[in-house]
Amino acid sequence: MNSPAAELRVDGVRLLSRLDELAARSAPGPGVTRLAYSAEDEAARALVGSWLREAGLQVRIDTAGNVLGTLPGSAGLPRPLLTGSHLDTVVMGGTLDGAYGVVAAIEVAESLRGRLRHDLVVAAWSNEEGARSTPGMVGSRAAAGTLEPAWLDSPDDDGVPLRARLGADVLTARMGPVEAYLELHVEQGPVLDTAGTVVGAVEGITGQLVGAIDVRSTANHAGTTPMALRQDALAAAAEIVLAIERLALDGAVRVATCGHIRVAPNVRNTIPGRVLLSVDLRDMSDARSEAAWSALVAVVAAVDDRRGTRSQLKVVSRVAAVDCDPCLVALVERAAAARGLGALRLPSGAGHDAQVLSMLGPVGMVFVPSVAGVSHSPGERTESAHLIAGAQVLLDVVAAVDDQPRC
Domain CATH number, residue 11: 3.40.630.10
* Domain-terminating residue out of 287, 303, 319: 319
Q: Are residues 164 and 21 in the same domain?
A: yes
Q: What CATH number did the domain enclosing 225 receive?
A: 3.30.70.360
91 and 132 Cβ atoms separated by less than 8 Å: no
Per-residue DSSP letter, 33: -
Q: Are residues 221 and 104 in the same domain?
A: no
d(CA 71, CA 82): 10
d(CA 222, CA 182): 55
Q: Are residues 18 and 96 in the same domain?
A: yes
Q: Is the pLDDT of residue 4 over 60?
A: no
Position 81 scores a pLDDT of: 98
Q: Are residues 198 and 224 in the same domain?
A: no
Percent of residues in the chain assigned helix, strand, coil, to nearest 5: 40, 25, 40
11: pLDDT confidence band, cut at 50, 70 and 90? Answer: very high
CA–CA distances in Å: residue 227 to residues 110, 223, 230, 260, 268: 67, 10, 5, 27, 16
Q: Are residues 344 and 385 in the same domain?
A: yes
Q: Are residues 225 and 112 in the same domain?
A: no
Q: Are residues 213 and 178 in the same domain?
A: no
7: pLDDT confidence band, cut at 50, 70 and 90? Answer: confident
Among residues 373, 335, 339, the alpha carbon closest in space to that of 97 is found at 373
CA 367, 370, 372, 376 torsion-angle sign:
negative
Q: Is the pLDDT of residue 1 over 70?
A: no
Position 203 scores a pLDDT of: 97
* Domain-terminating residue out of 263, 286, 319: 319
Q: Are residues 332 and 262 in the same domain?
A: no
Q: Is omega for the bond preceding 265 within 30 degrees of 0, making it cis?
A: yes
Q: Are residues 185 and 232 in the same domain?
A: no
CB atoms within 10 A of CB 223: 8
End-to-end alpha carbon distance in the chain: 17
Position 133 scores a pLDDT of: 81
Q: Are residues 149 and 285 in the same domain?
A: no
Position 134 scores a pLDDT of: 87
Which residues pair with residue 319 across a beta bridge? Answer: 208
Count up the domains in the chain and report the number: 2
- Quote the domain boundaries for residue 287: 208-319
22 and 47 Cβ atoms separated by less than 8 Å: yes
Q: Is the pLDDT of residue 392 over 50?
A: yes
Q: Are residues 69 and 109 in the same domain?
A: yes
* Domain-terminating residue out of 300, 319, 338: 319
At residue 206, what is the residue type?
A: T
